């Protein structure tokens, strides 16, 4: 009985030992498989660089497709002598059950001699488990600038003279033109103001309208324009005298109006109908001469002159003098 019990216990112990060894082997294999399924590396193409050169570092991560990989958030510097210049976007390649990630980071080393690019952490997550994978530090040799101490110090060179482009000169050119234009405008305004101050006022505004108009008619008669064949100039001056007189006498913009508009402005209450008709005939004839190249006869030329003079004489405003009782006399 004792023998059978002892044999049974030994048999059970051997089974347990065998199961434990098998479990440990399975755990070891799973760990080895998981380690093989996730890997990270950092490499450089060269091992020697000049100070200030870019050091391109390739970061490579391989992980199962169901594993999430987080790359570092690159800052301006990794250490006091290693800075990050720029980096590319992350490239992802699906390879069977594995995902491969790649990123190129250009770094600048500001130290000489043997310099270590530090280890960089990568986070890998699977479900609720997150692990950190670290790259190996990279050793590079950085050479300084070679200085030839056997030669004398050379004098400082002057800055390189680069010729100006038209685009650079254009703002100054425009500014100069604007300044010249402003000065010219000020000079023109000053001269015009000075001429206005020095020039005597127009005679037609100093004399009574009818006095000025009669003087102008006398000048026109003395010039003998139609007698020398210049009929158009004759009628132009004649109508200008008549229209200017009407503007000054009745405050009507006669110089800007057509003959028809002027006749409507000179309504019945202002002048007699007979004077209005004679004036209208003279102005219509003048329009034909100026715009239709009509050639009136000698009698029509003289009649137009007399009609204008008669209109001025019969419509002139007579100044009155005060009477004894304060009333005005004509």
Express each pLDDT in 171-207 by its tens digit.
Answer: 989 999 999 999 999 999 988 887 766 556 677 778 8
Question: 135 with 212, same domain?
Answer: no
Question: 131 with 215, same domain?
Answer: no
Does some domain include residue 188? no
Question: 133 with 221, same domain?
Answer: no
Question: 212 with 119, same domain?
Answer: no
Residue (of 49, 55, 44, 45) closest to 112 by Cα position: 49
Does some domain include residue 196? no
Question: 315 with 223, same domain?
Answer: yes
pTM: 0.40
| Single residue among 111, 126, 143 that ends a domain in this structure | 143
Q: What CATH number has the domain bearing residue 71?
A: 2.60.40.740
Domain extent, residue 55, equals 37-143
How many domains are there within the chain? 2
Question: 207 with 311, same domain?
Answer: yes
User: Who's near 76: CB < 8 A, 6+ residues apart?
Assistant: 83, 84
Please give the Cα distance from 313 to 211 (Å, whole number): 10
Q: How big is the CA angle at 88 (ends 86 and 89), to the nearest 5 degrees?
A: 135
Question: 137 with 207, same domain?
Answer: no
User: pLDDT tens digits for 128-187?
Assistant: 888 999 999 999 999 887 766 666 677 787 887 778 888 888 898 999 999 999 999 999
Question: 216 with 303, same domain?
Answer: yes
Neighbours of 221 (CB within 10 A): 13
Q: Are 220 and 287 in contact (CB under 8 A)?
A: no
- The answer on pLDDT for 94 being more than 80 is yes
Does some domain include residue 236? yes
The strand pair at 68-70 and 321-322 is best described as unpaired
């Amino acid at each position: 009985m004792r023998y059978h019990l002892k044999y049974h216990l030994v048999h059970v112990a051997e089974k347990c030992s065998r199961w434990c060894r098998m479990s440990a082997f399975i755990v070891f294999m799973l760990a080895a498989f998981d380690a093989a399924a996730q890997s990270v590396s950092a490499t450089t193409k060269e091992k020697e660089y000049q100070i200030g050169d870019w050091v391109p570092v390739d970061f490579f991560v391989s992980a199962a497709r169901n594993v999430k990989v987080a790359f570092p958030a690159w800052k301006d510097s990794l250490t006091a002598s290693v800075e990050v210049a720029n980096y590319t976007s992350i490239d992802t390649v699906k390879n069977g059950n594995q995902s491969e990630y790649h990123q190129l980071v250009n770094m600048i080393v500001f130290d000489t001699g043997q310099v270590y690019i530090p280890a960089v952490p990568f986070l890998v997550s699977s479900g609720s488990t997150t692990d950190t994978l670290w790259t190996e530090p990279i050793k590079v040799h950085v050479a300084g600038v070679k200085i030839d101490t056997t030669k004398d110090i050379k004098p400082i060179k002057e800055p390189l003279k680069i010729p100006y482009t038209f685009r650079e000169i254009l703002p100054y050119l425009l500014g100069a033109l604007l300044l010249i234009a402003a000065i010219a405008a000020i000079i023109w305004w000053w001269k015009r103001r000075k001429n206005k101050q020095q020039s005597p006022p127009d005679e037609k505004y100093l004399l009574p309208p009818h006095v000025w108009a009669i003087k102008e008619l006398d000048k026109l008669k003395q010039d003998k324009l139609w007698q020398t064949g210049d009929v158009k100039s004759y009628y132009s001056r004649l109508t200008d005298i008549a229209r200017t007189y009407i503007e000054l006498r009745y405050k009507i913009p006669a110089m800007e109006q057509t003959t028809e508009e002027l006749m409507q402005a000179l309504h019945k209450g202002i002048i007699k109908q007979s004077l209005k008709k004679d004036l209208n005939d003279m102005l219509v004839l003048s329009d034909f001469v100026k715009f239709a190249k009509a050639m009136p006869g000698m009698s029509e030329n003289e009649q137009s002159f007399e009609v204008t003079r008669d209109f001025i004489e019969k419509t002139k405003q007579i100044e009155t003098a005060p009477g004894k009782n304060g009333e005005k006399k004509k």
